[in-house]
Amino acid sequence: MSGMHDVIVIGAGPAGCSAAICLCLRGRAVTILEKNRQPWKKLCAGGLPPKVVGVLPANLEGLVEQSVCKIRFGYEGRRSFELAFKRPVVHLVQRHLLDQRLVQQAVGLGARLVEGAAVVELQPEAQRVLVKTTKHTYQARVVIAADGALGAGARLLGHQGIRLCPAVQVDVKLSRRKMKPYRNMLACDFGVLPGGIGWVFPKRDRLSVGLCSFGARANLKAALEKYLRIEGLDSGRISPIESHPLSTWDGRRVFSKGSVLMVGDAAGLVNPLTGAGIRRACISGQLAAEAAHAYLAGGAVCQKDLASYDRRVNADLVDELARARLLARLFYRAPGLFYRIGVMNARINPWVGELLSGQKSYLEVFRELLSGGWISRPRPL
Ligand SMILES: Cc1cc2nc3c(=O)[nH]c(=O)nc-3n(C[C@H](O)[C@H](O)[C@H](O)COP(=O)(O)OP(=O)(O)OC[C@H]3O[C@@H](n4cnc5c(N)ncnc54)[C@H](O)[C@@H]3O)c2cc1C
């Protein structure tokens, strides 16, 4: 058994690193337990809406491989059209390089990183939490569980209010000439997988091509092979298919148990409409760090400081997720219909870019949808 730690963070992804960085900046000693060893690879398309930049605790200098101002929408490769925006709607990075940058930042500020430490069980007790790894048992006054969709943190709350949506992705390496159509443009397809979404996210010399199902069970591998054919990418150098679930929000309101605070994918904070989760991973990591810092500063009697974490996540993140979930439930139930009347509607589709880039909130989109202006004055594409 280790000595008593003030804070242990489990997982060194965006949520864990954000929490660790925030705590280090407040002068706290932090230990990060990470099951992998560097360099590790988390399956991700690496899309960062510009509004992420404000909450990422490290700079993106040299990491952004493309900033896209165009989106090509399609429905099973048909009814496709391009939308152009004045400003970039998504910056694209290679995810493992982003994680490396975040880890360097945390360690540079004094966090202790223990690699190869897979946490198998969390045991919250009155004044401490026991953190059992495959090798050692640690004890800490506060634990921030940032161990993703399948980790011990999510298990502790029994995955209630989290919907694990299966996703697959490959990297396709292409010659410069074949990369040309994807310069400054990403592609989204809503029909290749019923109740799901397909994406082509371009990097400097490769494309991340993936699919996620938000609806019924489907053969994602076969659907991805079909999507690659539709996009004309099946002759490129394709990496083996990898899979990892998206930990989408499905009504959860509790994000802690005793002195264990769940953040990022461990809390199920992925957008159920788009599959994006990095921004909320960073924000929740910072909120948990602030709650842990207040708790440790006030002594063990200040359990209410930890409870404030649940309130802050509900206030800052959950309302927008609930609206995204409502939209997702409608959209993915009849994607063909909503693609025609929504995505292809020239009055509505600019909102997609505005939502992605953060210029518009889901609340504003709902208000505009309910105002009905987009129905009374239709404008053809
Ligand atoms: C195919 C795919 C594409 C995606 N594309 C995008 C995108 O373009 N943009 C976007 O915003 N989001 C995207 N997401 C979602 C995004 O990847 C997650 O929301 C984000 O990574 C969450 O960060 P996190 O730190 O909470 O968890 P993670 O990034 O999963 O990090 C968890 C960390 O904990 C470690 N860990 C796990 N278990 C243990 C354990 N037992 N003990 C110790 N350590 C452990 C892991 O090794 C990892 O380092 C995508 C997801 C998928 C699956």
Residue-wise pLDDT for 141-186, tens only, equals: 999 999 999 999 999 988 788 999 999 999 999 988 889 999 999 9
- Is the model's pLDDT at 283 over the cut of 80? yes
Question: Atom 33 in ligand 1: which residue has the minimum CA distance?
Answer: 11
CB of 261 closer than 6 A to ligand 1?
A: no
Q: Which residues is 138 bridged to in the sheet? A: 131
Q: Which of 3, 67, 18 is nearest to 277 (CA)?
A: 18
- Is the model's pLDDT at 276 over the cut of 80? yes
Q: Please give the Cα distance from 71 to 177 (Å, whole number).
A: 20
Q: Which residues is 257 bridged to in the sheet? A: 260
Q: Which of 42, 168, 274 to mutate to test ligand 1, by most ligand atoms within 8 A of the CB atom?
A: 42
Ligand 1 closest atom vs CA 42:
29
CB of 33 closer than 6 A to ligand 1?
A: yes
pLDDT score, position 111: 98
- Is the model's pLDDT at 50 over the cut of 80? yes
pLDDT score, position 316: 94
Q: Please give the Cα distance from 354 to 364 (Å, whole number).
A: 10
CB 113 within 8 A of CB 34: yes
pLDDT score, position 259: 94
pLDDT in tens, 55-104: 999 999 999 999 999 999 999 989 899 999 989 999 999 999 999 999 99
- Is the model's pLDDT at 381 over the cut of 60? no
pTM of the predicted model as reported, rounded to 2 decimal places = 0.95
pLDDT score, position 300: 52
Give all domains of the chain, ordered by start, each with its CATH number. 4-46+94-163+249-325 (3.50.50.60), 67-91+164-246 (3.30.9.10), 328-376 (no CATH)
Q: In sequence order, which residues have a C-beta less than 8 Å from that of residue 182 and are 6 or more positions away? A: 200, 202, 207
- Is the model's pLDDT at 379 over the cut of 90? no
Q: Which of 35, 162, 255, 279 to mutate to test ligand 1, by most ligand atoms within 8 A of the CB atom?
A: 35
**Lowest-confidence region among 102-111, 124-133, 238-247, 351-360:** 351-360
CB of 153 closer than 6 A to ligand 1?
A: no
Tokens representing residue 140 in the block: 């800490």
CB of 324 closer than 6 A to ligand 1?
A: no
CB of 275 closer than 6 A to ligand 1?
A: yes
Mean pLDDT of all residues belonging to the chain: 92
Question: Atom 19 in ligand 1: which residue has the minimum CA distance?
Answer: 277
pLDDT score, position 216: 72
pLDDT in tens, 306-352: 888 999 999 999 999 999 999 999 999 999 999 998 889 888 888 88
pLDDT score, position 325: 94
pLDDT in tens, 14-41: 999 999 999 999 999 999 999 999 888 9
CB 152 within 8 A of CB 120: yes
CB of 268 closer than 6 A to ligand 1?
A: no
